[in-house]
Amino acid sequence: MTRLSLLSLVASATASLSLPATAQTTPPQDAPPRLVVALLVDQLRYDYLERFHNHFSPGGFRTFTERGAFLTFAQYDYAPTVTGPGHASFLSGATPATHGIVGNDWFDKKSGKSINCVSDPDVSGVGVKSASSGKRSPKNFIGSTLSDEMRLRFRSKVVGISLKDRGAILPAGRNADGAYWLDSSNGHFVTSTWYRNALPDWLTRFNNRQLPASYVGQVWKRLLPESAYPWSDTSVGEGKLAGEKTSTFDHVIKPSPTEGLETIVPTPFGNTLLRELAEAAIDGEQLGRPGTTDFLSISFSSTDACGHIFGPYSQEMQDIILRLDLELERLFKFLDQRIGLNNVTMVLTADHGVAPVPEFAVANGFQGGRADLADLKPTAPAVPAKDSTSPSTSTTTASAPPSTSASTPEKKEPSKSEEGEKPVTAPPSGLMADLLKALSQRFQTPRILLSPKFYDGHLFYNHRELAAQRISLEDVNLFIREWALSTGRFQSIFTRNQLLDGRAPGALGERILNGYNAERGGDIVLVLKPFILPGGGRSGTTHGAPYSYDTHIPVAFHGRAFKPGRYADPFNITDIAPTLSAALRMNEPSGNIGKPFVKALK
DSSP bridge partners of 71: 555, 567
Contact call for residues 192 and 125 (beta carbons, < 8 A): yes
Q: What's the angle, vertex CA 46, arms to CA 44 and CA 52, rounded to 5?
A: 85
CB 51 within 8 Å of CB 312: no
Which amino acid, residue 143? G
What distances in angstroms separate CA 334 from CA 112, 340, 457, one per listed residue? 48, 9, 43
In order, the DSSP letters of 298-352 are EEE-HHHHHHHHH-TTSHHHHHHHHHHHHHHHHHHHHHHHHT-GGGEEEEEE-S-
Judge whether 405 and 539 are in contact, CB under 8 Å. yes
CA distance 36 to 467: 53
- Rounded distance, CA 429 to CA 452, Å? 9
Residues 161 and 166: their CA atoms lie apart, in Å, by 10
Q: Which helix (H) or strand (E) holds 478?
A: helix 473-486
Report which of 587, 540, 593 is spatially closest to residue 237, judged by C-alpha positions.
540
* Active-site choice (63, 65, 83, 248): 83
Instruction: Tally helices (H) and strands (E) across the chain.
Output: 21, 22
Q: Which stretch of DSSP H or E encloses residue 493?
A: strand 490-495
Which strands, in side-by-side order, build the sheet including 458-459? Answer: 458-459, 524-528, 490-495
| Residues ≥6 apart with Cβ < 8 Å to 12 | none
d(CA 18, CA 1): 25
* Backbone φ, ψ for residue 567 (5° rounding): -125, 120
Contact 525, 516 (CB under 8 A): yes
Confirm whether 83 is a catalytic residue: yes
First to last CA, the chain: 41
Write out the H or E segment, with its range, that includes residue 268.
Answer: helix 268-284
Residues annotated as part of the active site? 83
